[in-house]
Amino acid sequence: MEKPTLKDYAKAAEIGVSKKYVDQRMEELDWSLERAITTPVGTSWEGQEKHTKMYVLAEKNNISRSTFFRRILNGMTPYQAATEPKGFSNYIPLAKANGIKDKTLYQRVKRGMKRFKQKRYLIPNKNKKSPLRGPCKCYRISYNTVYACLRIVRTK
């Protein structure tokens, strides 16, 4: 590995790279001499400045900055993070047609219901004022299971 000369340090100083930073790049980061003295400070850092064009696209699609960067951290590509609609916007009209509020839909998903592999999560609850509502919710028993058991008990 070659050592930088005073001319190399001067060339690096012209673009704002200090002597200490050139040495650090070469020793700790194993950069070549040419790369260490010609790369400006901050260009290898992958921060929020990296996705400014995609963030503008995300703003056009009504996606907030925090949602955009959270999606990238969760593994989406920047284009997907900027263009995919928020939440379950595809399912909200169907849920509203069935009399389900969007907040209810989000809560059903939050509680662990799978992402609409079956459309039954978009069907309104027929037994909204059922006396069994509290116990069923506590023990995570479906209403259908409870009512099926009650039908069996009544027939005996």
Q: What's residue 46's pLDDT? A: 52
- Asked whether the whole model's pTM tops 0.75, one would answer no
Classify residue 64: in a domain, yes or no: yes
User: What is d(CA 25, CA 32) in angstroms, rounded to the nearest whole number?
Assistant: 8
Residue 52 sits in the same domain as residue 79: yes
Report which of 87, 141, 147, 93 is spatially closest to residue 115, judged by C-alpha positions.
87
Give the pLDDT score at 29. Answer: 85
d(CA 98, CA 113): 18
pLDDT tens-digit profile of 62-79? Answer: 888 888 888 888 888 889
Run of H or E including 151? helix 143-155
pLDDT at 8: 93
**Is residue 96 assigned to a domain?**
no
Those residues of the chain that have pLDDT short of 50 are 117-118, 130-138
- At residue 44, the 3 state secondary structure works out as coil
Range of the domain at 15: 6-38
Residue 124's Cα: distance from chain center in Å?
29
Task: Give the pLDDT confidence of 45-59 residue by residue, as tens digits.
Answer: 555 567 778 888 899
> Are 133 and 156 in a shared domain?
yes
Report yes or no on 149 lying in a domain.
Answer: yes
Q: Is residue 17 part of a domain?
A: yes
pLDDT value at residue 7? 93
Q: How many domains does the chain have?
A: 3
Structure-derived torsion over alpha carbons of residues 98, 99, 102, 105, reported in degrees to the nearest 10? -60
Round to whole Å and give the CA distance between 52 and 72: 13
